[in-house]
């Protein structure tokens, strides 16, 4: 189980929009690695996650959710391996069975990869997550020192 603590940023009826706190991919290299460069290039737009709660929550409240790990393996296989597998399969078929030239093998491999991408995209839409609420944290008031106390 993967657990994440999110903050309620907006409420629409019984649906709350949750936002995760941004974490840097790696703090060991001080911004010299590829993930830091890509994060700077593509921005860090915060995404919200809509979730329908049974109990009422308030804006600013923290909620801990959990996700089953087995779904991540299915997603990863569909997104990464399916286009690669179909691209290699199409390249093999064009080379060994159809005896095509190298240029056509590349075209067939690209078509297989693109077909695998669209197949993976449709498969990922059908996968459902089993998200469970672990804990709804109470809203805590910030402590301030009052003069004279």
Report the chain's terminal Cα–Cα distance, integer Å: 46
pLDDT digits (tens, 9 = 90+) for 27-49: 556 555 666 655 666 555 677 88
Q: How far is 33 from 31, CA to CA, in rounded Å?
A: 6
Among 68, 149, 94, 85, CA closest to 120: 85
Integer angstrom CA distances of residue 67 from 20, 54, 78, 105: 14, 18, 18, 41
Is the C-alpha dihedral spanning 65, 6, 36, 80 positive or negative? positive
pLDDT digits (tens, 9 = 90+) for 52-84: 888 888 898 999 988 877 777 778 888 899 999
Please tell me the pTM assigned to this model: 0.56
């Amino acid at each position: 189980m993967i657990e994440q603590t999110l903050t309620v940023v907006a409420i629409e009826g019984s649906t709350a929009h949750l936002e995760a706190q941004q974490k840097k991919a790696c703090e060991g290299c001080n911004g010299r690695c590829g993930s830091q460069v890509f994060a700077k290039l593509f921005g860090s737009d915060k995404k919200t996650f809509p979730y329908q709660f049974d109990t009422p929550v308030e804006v600013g409240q923290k909620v801990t959710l959990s996700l089953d790990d087995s779904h991540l393996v299915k997603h990863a296989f569909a997104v990464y391996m399916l286009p690669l597998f179909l691209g290699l399969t199409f390249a093999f078929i064009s080379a060994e069975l159809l005896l095509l030239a190298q240029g056509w093998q590349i075209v067939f491999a690209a078509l297989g990869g693109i077909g695998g991408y669209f197949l993976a995209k449709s498969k990922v839409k059908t996968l459902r997550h089993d998200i469970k609420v672990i804990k709804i944290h109470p809203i805590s008031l910030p402590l301030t020192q009052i003069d004279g106390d």
